[in-house]
């Protein structure tokens, strides 16, 4: 399970024994600049998270942290950069969908999540909101369900692309609610959100920062959130799990290492991340980015990724995705 068998016990013991302030005389990691590889362009969610925590990790651990954006090929470029690193000080900050989706859309994925990555920490969880255009005659989730059932296939939704987490969330929602929507894929949320605001599609799933400005000015309505429970920032917006038991398609934002990374490095990174994400200013910054901080253990991170992969796999099969 995500290459933890040989490193988990040692990492757990090292976490337990690590000094809170990581005193210089006791540490073997970090001994040089730490690199955080991000498989997305600057400004994306994992990039934002990496920059938020990187600065604090540098302060906490007494070494510089740099963010290195390696975009392309669905994360394969970043995975290759991690695999070729040999300094023991290189990690990747990414999201769960990058790990789980490739086998369902690519016949020969360039990387294997279980084989090529070791979990380090679950930084946080990022929800997606279901938003509808202001013209849609539904102001609540119940009204939207009734409308969709009265006109199967008449309503459409935009996504960030075939096989994206936005697409798979919508497919899982349709299955759970017993409704039929028409999928209109775009090339990223940078296209799907403007398409919904412009009235080209009726609804989308998108991150809070991408939507809230349009909600405030009345051009979009929040209908639901794709999590197991309501968000504290939007207590009036129902969770889809209230209608679909067990529904939870918020995605994980994680830090991973390559196999062979020392247990000491994994343990120290895990402990430092857990501490950093509890800082009030970091909680505030992550909230603005649409991320709920977690700071889970190595074992919990592995379990969360495994569960996410299972959820995504079920949605991918329901969507009829076939590797090409």
Q: Which pLDDT belongs to residue 324? A: 83
Higher pLDDT, 164 or 17: 164
CA-to-CA distance for 295 and 276, rounded, in angstroms? Answer: 8
pLDDT score of 12: 42
Last residue of a domain, one of 176, 209, 242: 242
**Domain match, 79 and 138 both:** no
Among the listed residues 43, 37, 39, the one whose alpha carbon sits nearest the alpha carbon of residue 210: 43
Residue 318 has a pLDDT of: 86
Has residue 1 been placed in a domain?
no
Work out how many domains the chain is built from and give that number: 2
pLDDT of amino acid 27: 53
Residue 279 lies in a domain: yes
What is the structure's pLDDT at 6?
A: 41
In a domain, 324, yes or no: no
Do 25 and 67 fall into the same domain?
yes
> Which domain CATH number covers 259?
3.40.190.150
Same domain, 121 and 40: yes
- Mean pLDDT value across residues 138-162: 97
Angle at 223 between CA 314 and CA 52, to 5 degrees: 75
The predicted pLDDT at position 322 comes to: 87
Give the model's pLDDT for residue 173. 97
* Chain segment 13-67, per-residue pLDDT in tens: 444 444 344 444 345 899 999 999 999 999 889 999 999 999 999 999 999 999 9
Cα dihedral value 216, 223, 236, 240, nearest 10: -150
Determine which of 8-22, 120-134, 198-212 has the lowest per-residue pLDDT on average: 8-22
Residues 198 and 51 in one domain: no
Same domain, 44 and 59: yes
- Single residue among 242, 260, 287 that ends a domain in this structure: 242
Please report, for the domain that includes residue 174, its CATH number: 3.40.190.10
pLDDT mean over 215-241:
96
Name the residue with tokens 């977690």. Answer: 294
- Phi-psi label, residue 320: left if phi above 0, alpha if psi -120 to 50, beta otherwise: left
Q: Which two tokens stand for residue 318?
A: 């329901």
Decide the pairing of beta strands 203-206 and 156-159: parallel
- Could you read off the pLDDT of 283-298 as tens digits, one per residue? 999 999 999 999 999 9
Domain of residue 187, residue span: 129-242
Which residue, of 210, 242, 274, is where some domain finishes?
242
Given a cut of 80, whether residue 253 has pLDDT beyond it is yes
Q: Are residues 135 and 164 in the same domain?
A: yes
Count Cβ neighbours within 10 Å for each residue of 246-257 and write b for 16 or more, e otherwise.
ebbbbbbbbbbb
> How much is the pLDDT for 115?
94
Same-domain pairing of 41 and 116: yes
């Amino acid at each position: 399970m995500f290459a933890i068998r040989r490193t988990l016990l040692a990492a757990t013991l090292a976490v337990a024994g690590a000094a809170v302030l990581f005193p210089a005389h006791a540490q073997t990691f970090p001994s040089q600049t730490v690199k955080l590889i991000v498989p997305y362009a600057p400004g994306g969610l994992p990039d934002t998270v990496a920059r938020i925590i990187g600065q604090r990790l540098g302060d906490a651990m007494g070494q510089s942290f740099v963010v290195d954006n390696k975009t392309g090929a669905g994360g394969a470029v970043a995975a290759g950069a991690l695999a070729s690193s040999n300094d023991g000080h290189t990690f990747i900050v990414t999201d769960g969908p990058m790990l789980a989706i490739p086998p369902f859309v690519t016949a020969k994925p360039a990387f294997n999540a279980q084989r090529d990555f070791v979990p380090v920490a679950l930084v946080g969880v990022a929800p997606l909101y279901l938003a509808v255009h202001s013209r849609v005659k539904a102001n609540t989730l119940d009204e939207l369900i009734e409308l969709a059932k009265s006109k199967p296939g008449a309503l459409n939704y935009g996504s960030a692309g075939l096989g994206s987490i936005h697409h798979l969330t919508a497919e899982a929602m349709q299955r759970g609610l017993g409704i039929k929507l028409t999928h209109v894929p775009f090339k990223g949320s940078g296209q799907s959100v403007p398409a919904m605001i412009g009235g080209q599609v009726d609804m989308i799933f998108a991150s809070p920062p991408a939507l809230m400005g349009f909600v405030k000015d009345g051009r979009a309505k929040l209908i639901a959130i794709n999590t197991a429970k309501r968000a504290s920032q939007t207590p009036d917006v129902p969770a889809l799990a209230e209608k679909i038991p067990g529904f939870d398609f918020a995605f994980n934002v994680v830090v991973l290492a390559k196999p062979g990374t020392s247990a000491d490095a994994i343990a120290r990174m895990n402990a430092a991340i857990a501490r950093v994400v509890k800082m009030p200013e970091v909680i505030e910054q992550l909230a603005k980015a649409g991320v709920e901080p977690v700071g889970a253990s190595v074992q919990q991170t592995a379990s969360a990724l495994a569960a996410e992969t299972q959820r995504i796999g079920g949605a991918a099969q329901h969507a009829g995705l076939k590797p090409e």
